Amino acid sequence: MIQLLSRLEVADNTGAKKVRMIRRIGQNKKTASIGDIIVCHVKECTTDSAVKKGTVVRALVVRTKTAVRRRDGSYLRFDENAVVGSSFKVTCLSSTAALAFLAHDIIDGLAANTGGINLK
């Protein structure tokens, strides 16, 4: 579970490194888990990135420290909380970024429906 004002890693190549959760999209809950779309703002970024510090963006949660139960009964747990930016154009996901099973299906669905991951 990711709570409000939690710091998250960014698992794509947009230039943002760390973000902080502001709000969850959808239900009025204060926590988010894998597959949820959240509103966050950029805390750290690289110098040559298109996304600047302080920019408010939407992101999809792809990794959490909290264990998530799979359909086959196994549990999936990561070392860090991470998101993939969805309100700015993602050119290519890093091949080393581990995506959870639910988020992987959601990303494929978003890319098929919108022609790219862009949820403005």
Range list of H helices, 32-75 = none
Residue 64: pLDDT band with limits 50, 70, 90: very high
- DSSP β-bridge partners for residue 76: 68
Q: Are 73 and 91 in contact, with CB atoms under 8 Å apart?
A: no
Residue 105: pLDDT band with limits 50, 70, 90: low
Residue 118 has pLDDT above 90, yes or no: no
Residue 101 has pLDDT above 80, yes or no: no
pLDDT tens profile 1-30: 899 999 999 988 888 999 999 999 888 889
Residue 119: pLDDT band with limits 50, 70, 90: very low
Spell out the domains of the chain, with CATH numbers in brackets. 2-114 (2.40.150.20)
Residue 89 has pLDDT above 70, yes or no: no
**Cα–Cα–Cα angle for 98, 90, 31, rounded to 5 degrees:** 60
Looking at residue 103, what is its pLDDT?
55
| Between residues 8 and 51, the one the model is more confident about | 8
